[in-house]
Amino acid sequence: MNLILVRRNEITYSSSAKSQARVLLSDRRADHIRQVHQPSLGDALKLGVISGEIFNAQVVGISEQGVALEWDSALGVPPPEALPVVLVLALPRPKMLRRILQSAASMGVKEIWLIHSYRVDKSYWSSPLLDYEALMMQLQLGLEQSGDTIMPTLHLRKRFKPFVEDELPALVAGRKAWVAHPYDAEKAPMPSDQPSLVAVGPEGGFITYEVSKLMDAGLNPLSLGQRILRVETAIPVVLTRLFP
């Protein structure tokens, strides 16, 4: 946790010095601060307000009840820039999904669509790990890791065809759009900072029908080279190729 993330409704403001903000943490964040940061009173920690700025907060209390932090809310800096990319991802195995969401969030992805695909096991959709709150927690862990405050949006689509036919074309509009596919594909495109969309297949890959439907929606196949990468590797590789 390189950044302590707090919600606006957890913050209280000093009645004498209006910009003096304070939070008392007593959950996993407090445990983390006590066990990992092990600060002394007066030490500084990085604190981010979800959807807001990043501050240098001072540890003003450490006790069994929790950890109290204070900062000057006039001295914030903005979070790091987001990647201008929409990630469309065939639903990975739930255990992998957690790590994949964390790492995508930590790389600055702000819009993720999890979709069904032929080679996605239908049972994945009913996993308790797919609980929306649990998924948002993984995204938050990614932000805490990378020092960002802007939560990605997450969309789940249990049917491939209606998504690709009815929703995908609008997402593609105004973007460079790619489907990562090891076969019959152009080599990875030249890097750019243009708004982009990239689709990554499931462990078993997209089937030919799906690749052609994705191409009908305006996606171009792209190859990351001869080696077939696991999904959790393919995502960071494609993102760094597109946005070095």
In terms of CB distance, is 68 or 234 closer to ligand SAH?
234
**Binding test (CB under 6 A) with ligand SAH, winner from 52, 76, 92, 201:** 201
SS (H, E, C) 15-39: CCCCCEEEEEECCHHHHHHHHHHCC
Q: Which of 141, 156, 182 is nearest to 89 (CA)?
A: 156
Instruction: Kindly state the smallest distance separating residue 87's Cβ from ligand SAH, in Å.
Output: 11
**Cα–Cα dist 28/9, whole Å:** 17
In terms of CB distance, is 143 or 214 closer to ligand SAH?
214
Q: Can residue 236 be called a binding residue for ligand SAH (CB under 6 A)?
A: no
3 state DSSP class of 86: strand
Number of residues that bind ligand SAH (CB under 6 A): 17
**Sites for ligand SAH among residues 130-189 (CB under 6 A):** 180-182
Q: Can residue 229 be called a binding residue for ligand SAH (CB under 6 A)?
A: yes
Q: Contact, 73 vs 56, CB < 8 A?
A: no
Instruction: Kindly state the smallest distance separating residue 84's Cβ from ligand SAH, in Å.
Output: 20
Lookup result for tokens 């759009």: 177
Nearest residue by C-beta to ligand SAH?
A: 201
Q: Which residues contact 216 (CB under 8 A, 6 or more apart)?
A: 164
Q: Can residue 228 be called a binding residue for ligand SAH (CB under 6 A)?
A: yes
**Cα–Cα dist 23/50, whole Å:** 13
Instruction: Kindly state the smallest distance separating residue 181's Cβ from ligand SAH, in Å.
Output: 5
Instruction: Kindly state the smallest distance separating residue 137's Cβ from ligand SAH, in Å.
Output: 25
In terms of CB distance, is 122 or 227 closer to ligand SAH?
227
Q: Can residue 41 be called a binding residue for ligand SAH (CB under 6 A)?
A: no
Q: Can residue 92 be called a binding residue for ligand SAH (CB under 6 A)?
A: no
Query: What are the E-state strand segments in the chain?
Result: 4-6, 12-13, 20-25, 44-49, 54-62, 67-72, 85-90, 111-115, 153-157, 176-180, 186-187, 196-200, 220-223
Q: Can residue 85 be called a binding residue for ligand SAH (CB under 6 A)?
A: no
Q: Can residue 206 be called a binding residue for ligand SAH (CB under 6 A)?
A: yes
The DSSP output letter for 41 is T
Q: Which of 108, 97, 104, 193 is nearest to 147 (CA)?
A: 108
Contact set with ligand SAH (CB under 6 A): 180-182, 200-201, 203-206, 223-225, 227-229, 231, 234
